[in-house]
Structure formats: structure tokens, C-alpha cells
Amino acid sequence: MQVYINPAKQTRTALLQRPAIDATALQEKVKQVLNDVQQQGNAALQKYTQLFDGVTLDNFQVSDAEMKEAVQTVSDELKQAIDIAIANITTFHQKQVAAPELIQTMPGVQCWRKSVGIEKVGLYIPGGTAPLFSTILMLAIPARIAGCKEIILCSPPGKNGLLHPAILYAAFKTGVTRIYKLGGVQAIAAMAYGTETVPQVYKIFGPGNQYVTCAKQLVQQQGIAIDMPAGPSEVCVLADETANAAFVAADLLSQAEHGIDSQVLLVSTQEALVQQVQQQIAAQLQQLPRQDIAQKALENSTAIVVGSMEEAIELVNEYAAEHLIISCKNEDAISDQIINAGSVFLGNYSPESAGDYASGTNHTLPTNGFAKAYSGVSVDSFVKKITYQKLTTEGIQNIGNAVIQMAEAEGLQAHANAVKVRLQNL
């Protein structure tokens, strides 16, 4: 961990710099796979699943029998934990449903918005070292609440040609409609274009490696919506003298274990605390199965000590962290001043991992500074808000002249005429 004590103001932006991500270098390779799936459908899916996942599958869709077996395999303890998480995530997201509200902007002019679930959505869950079933909860629960009719899930098969039982249990409990054993670029392609067995979707969600990220960017240019741009996961801890060094160290390590590219930032007004946190990290790191990964991530991480809480807040807003933990005595007052962050954790008993799994908030969040412009996933991400207007004859009489004036000033006579023919008819 690089420690900077009261760095000069003009150097701070450089300290907050994330490593540049450039997925465009992969574009040619990724385009090839996308094109093959678009043109050859299932045959291409089969070819790439053999090549990249090392298994030959005749049928990509998870069968009822596979699902049944998986549900039996998951331990009761894990099931109970998942069920608690589902309950909390559902409670939190349910409140995001907006009922239409009729607004009369002028007498006889009524306007409103209606939220409609995106009819077909695709969720991608990466494979690799850990079965990220928690991400299924974070995507499928809001999708169901939004009213999406078709919720497709793709995740790469293991060497045994199966998905992890916890993945299937989470998908089963959250109402995913079809599950496919497909990974990587070929999964994104299947959902973007559709194949003989995989339905085409209108929006694709979920994390992935740099190939998946590049594929999502490319299909977005072709009109398929995506959840948000991707980047390595990150946490920023803002801590004053009331913070607990052991807790802060544990939080930083929980981010660092994600991957060697994970970003970890500690901002504090207390030099002594930063030292204690470093000691705690060293001690706790020894106990971790993923210590090699965490160690590497920490080598590229930063602690910054500043002279005042005002400066600290400024830094934190400039960084725009995916996860921001505020372990400070005035946590509520400080949180009011936060303008850029994905999800914020307040006080000493709100670790990031609570939100990662079960507090109820969503863990699919903007990384890489994208929190300056993007929100995390919510029910909003799974709906379109269609606007409506209905004018009575009184309404068109009240608004008509304004429309005619503006249309004519923009040189659009036919726009004006659409009002005039109606006024003439009254």
C-alpha cells in the first residue's frame, strides 16, 4: 500500500488515477465470435464452448432434472442464507416501483408516465474461481419486480458440463425463465442475436472478463442495451479517529481478494490510523485462502492522509468510488455531502460485504469513476418509462397557439398544421 501524507493538491488527481482499461485491442477477436454466432447460431455456440470451456454440449439449456438435482444438493444453511438475502433485496427493490401519476399541466392537457418491464432481458454470470450466485439475486429480483417476461441466464459450464448448484438454486428461487450453459463472448452473442434455442433479448446485464466487456460494448453499438460500462471492482474507506482499524483492514481485504486488478483506497485524517490499518492488514492477510490475489491488489493500492474532513470529502467525491465506507463520527452529515459514489456504507457496523450479499441494496454498481454519471442497477434498469398525453378539445385550445408559434419559429409548418387542422375543426 502506497501511503501519501498531505500530498499537494495538484498531485491528488494523479493519485486517484485508475489503470487505463482498453478493451478495443480485443475487438477483432471478439467480433469474429460475435459474427460466427450471428451467422451460424447453435453450431457456433457448440464450437466455442468446446474451444473455451472444454466441454461438448448437445443441449445448452438446463433441464428440469438438472435443476431438481441442484436444488437438492445445496445445503439447508446456504439455502436459508440465500432466502434471507432474497427477502431483503425484494423488500428494498419493491419500493422502487413507480405508480403512474396523472399530471394536468394545463386545463385539458393530461400527461403521465407508465413503467413497463423490458420484455426480454439477458443476465450473464461469469464462471471462474467462484460461483457468483449472489449476482443472480441482484439482477433477477429487480427484473421480476419490473415485470420482465423473459429472463434469460447464461453462465459457462464447468468441465463436467454442469452449472454450480448454488447458481441453479438462486436462478430457481428468483424466477429466471431459462438458463443456458454458455459463457464468454458466445453467450453475449447468443443473447444479442438469438439462435435456434436462445431467444434474442433487448438488454444484457452482468459482469464479465475483458472479452465479455468488449462484446457488450460492441453489441451496444448495434442497439442492444447494456447495464453499464465495466471496470475492476473497488472500495474507498473514509475513516477518522473513531474508525476501528481491524474493521477497516477487513473491508479493504474483502475488496482486494476479488482480483489482482481490484482497487483499494483509504482516505483518512489520521496518520496513526493508517499505520494501524496496515498492521491489521498484514496480520489478517495471513489467514486468507486468496492471500496471493489480495497481496497483489494491495501493492497497487493507496492510502492518503489529509489535513481536514473537508479535503477528505473532496477527494472521495473526485474518486467516485463504486463502494464507499464512511467510518467517521459524523457519518450522516458527511454522507449528505457525498455526490459521487455507487453504494455507501455508513458507520462501523456496515461492511461492504453486507451490501454485497444481503442488506437489500444492489451490488451491481458503477466502477472506474463511472459513478459520476451512472447509477447502480435497480428496478429502473429493467423498465422503460413510456410517457403519455391526452388532450381534450379544451386542452388543444389552451396549448394550440404556443405550439403553432414554436413550430413556425423552428420552420416546421407541418407541425403547426397538425394543430391548425384540429383547431379549425372545433
- Assign 180 to helix, strand or coil: strand
Q: Interface with a copy of itself includes 134 (CB under 8 A)?
A: yes
DSSP H or E run through 368:
none
CB of 245 to a copy of itself, least distance (A): 10
| Options 153-161, 189-197, 301-309, 402-410: segment touching a copy of itself (CB under 8 A) | 402-410
Other CB atoms within 10 Å distance of the CB of residue 387: 8
Other CB atoms within 10 Å distance of the CB of residue 3: 14
Question: Which residue, 182, 130, 186, is CA-closest to 152?
Answer: 182
Q: Interface with a copy of itself includes 58 (CB under 8 A)?
A: no
C-alpha cell at 13: 488527481
b/e map 172-196, b = 16+ CB within 10 Å: bbbebbbbbbbbbbbbbbbbbbbbe
Site for a copy of itself in 72-91 (CB under 8 A): 77-78, 80-82, 84-85, 87-88, 91
Catalytic residue ranges? 322-323
CB of 186 to a copy of itself, least distance (A): 22
Compute the distance between CA of residue 324 and CA of residue 342 in angstroms, rounded to an integer: 8
Our CB check for a copy of itself shows the closer of 60 and 345 to be: 345
Site for a copy of itself in 304-363 (CB under 8 A): 331, 335, 338-362
- Sequence length of the chain is 426
Q: Is 233 annotated as a binding residue?
A: yes
CB 66 within 8 A of CB 59: no
Our CB check for a copy of itself shows the closer of 31 and 47 to be: 31
Q: Is 211 annotated as a binding residue?
A: no
CB 167 within 8 A of CB 62: no
Q: Interface with a copy of itself includes 282 (CB under 8 A)?
A: no
Our CB check for a copy of itself shows the closer of 65 and 421 to be: 421
Residue 162-181 contact track with a copy of itself, rule CB under 8 A, x = bound:
----x---------------
CB of 48 to a copy of itself, least distance (A): 24
Question: Which residue, 297, 247, 266, is CA-closest to 4?
Answer: 266
Q: Binding site: which residues?
A: 124, 186, 209, 233, 255, 258, 323, 356, 410, 415
Q: Binding site for substrate: which residues?
A: 233, 255, 258, 323, 356, 410, 415
